[in-house]
A = this chain, B = another copy of it.
Amino acid sequence: MKQSELFLKTQKEFPKDEVAYNAKALTRGNFIYKLMAGVHAYLPLGFRVRTKVERIIREEMNALGSAEVLMPALHPKASWERTGRWEGLKKIMYRLKDEAGHEFGLGPTHEEIVAELARFEIFSYEDLPKSVYQIQTKFRNEPRAKSGLLRGREFSMKDLYSFHTDEDSLAEFYERAKEAYKKVFARMGLTAYVTEASGGDFSKQFSHEFMVETEAGEDEVMLCRACQFAQNREITAAKAGDKCPSCTKGKLESVTCVEVGNIFKLGTKFSSPVKLHYKDNKGEEHPVVMGSYGIGVDRLVGTIVEVSHDDKGIIWPESVAPFAVHLLALGAMTPDLKKTAEALYTTLEAKGIEVLYDDREGLSAGEKFNDADLIGIPLRVVVSGKTMEQGKFELKRRNEKEARMMTEKELVAYLAK
């Protein structure tokens, strides 16, 4: 795409009212617009990153054998009263009334709703196990919404729900989901520690949180770097320096991590209240055993920025970068320069390579370089009077210092790989 045709006005300075680095960089780079605390719009660059994050999640959830659905955000009060969470979650669930006096909640999660609709899908043990997932907008009354995309009042989650005859079947799927989650995060360049945590409002059993180490995190985690055993501070009395209770070799460290995913064994907590039952092979009825598995989409975008940047700006991993290549035309936009840059742009686009072409007029080389570093596209290609004299282009990776000169043929071959 041509940069001049996009909503893509970067700002000269980091915004002064933001604390979290992801909020600063994503705002300055024009990826997002803050409508109010915890409520953001995705601008074209940000939307492209988000779409790639979603695509990776979808691919791994589909590979788990789960099918995508989409549940609504507006929930009737009755659905939440059945499980007691209309009261239990009243602090975080936004509520509203229509003129007829009906009360609704804006869903912060979907255990109640998915259990309700699964009654029309699951009747017998032959219908199990099954799972469905959605990527959907959730709402949460969040007084401390000040960490950019890490903690929103309106945010997108991938939530998956699984249905089983018994705990063994759940445990088998739970382990497969854990592996799928590890793949999701690894594909985005993130190291996520599988951390034991409390079940919160969801389960009496321990749950597992996927924690990425970053200064912007809010949870304290006891981590053994030797064996990667990790426990949320809230469920352990262990201190930093203690021997690791898992491998008994390493020592525990106290780190702060942001939570990018969580998985819960729900048991029959949500199936029993709506009578989501199945018949076994003797015709006897039992409540369905459930699991729930979340990944924060916006939170992932924010976390990637937190862990992958330098003092000039963001460094996107290739897998989620808004574009693969940032093509800069530098110096006065002479007909020759335009022609050379446009020709390369067209060639690359025709090969299916995603190019952001900085065709803006009247900007200095320094301004264009600064924007490119801030935006953080993995590969930068420069066309200028100088490179044209040599009949070449300059290629530089965002995460390397050295640039190299290439002919068009070499460059196209390199990028097509």
A positions within 8 Å CB-CB of B: 1, 5-9, 30, 33, 35-36, 39-44, 47, 50-51, 65, 67-76, 79, 91, 94-96, 98-100, 104, 106, 113, 116-118, 120-121, 123, 130, 132, 137, 139, 141, 143, 153-154
Q: Are the C-beta atoms of A95 and B96 separated by less than 8 Å?
A: yes
Chain B contacts of A121 at CB under 8 A? 7-9, 30, 43
Chain B contacts of A95 at CB under 8 A? 96
Q: Are the C-beta atoms of A41 and B67 separated by less than 8 Å?
A: no
Q: Are the C-beta atoms of A69 and B43 separated by less than 8 Å?
A: yes
| Complex Cα–Cα for A141 and B101 (A) | 12
Chain B contacts of A65 at CB under 8 A? 5
Distance to closest chain B CB from A354 (angstroms)? 13
A67 and B35 in contact, given A44-B132, A96-B96 (Cβ under 8 angstroms): no
Which of B30, B41, B71, B73 is A71 in contact with, Cβ under 8 Å?
B41
Excluding A35-B71, A35-B75, A96-B106, 6 further A-B contacts by CB distance (< 8 Å) are A1-B67, A7-B121, A35-B113, A36-B76, A40-B72, A74-B139
Q: How many copies does the complex hold?
A: 2
| Complex Cα–Cα for A354 and B4 (A) | 39
Q: What 9 pairs between A and B have smallest CB-CB spacing? A: A44-B67, A96-B96, A42-B70, A7-B121, A41-B71, A33-B117, A39-B72, A74-B154, A72-B154
Distance to closest chain B CB from A7 (angstroms)? 4
Distance to closest chain B CB from A98 (angstroms)? 5
Q: Are the C-beta atoms of A73 and B154 separated by less than 8 Å?
A: yes
Q: Are the C-beta atoms of A130 and B73 separated by less than 8 Å?
A: no
A35 and B98 in contact, given A44-B69, A47-B70 (Cβ under 8 angstroms): no
Q: Are the C-beta atoms of B44 and A6 separated by less than 8 Å?
A: no
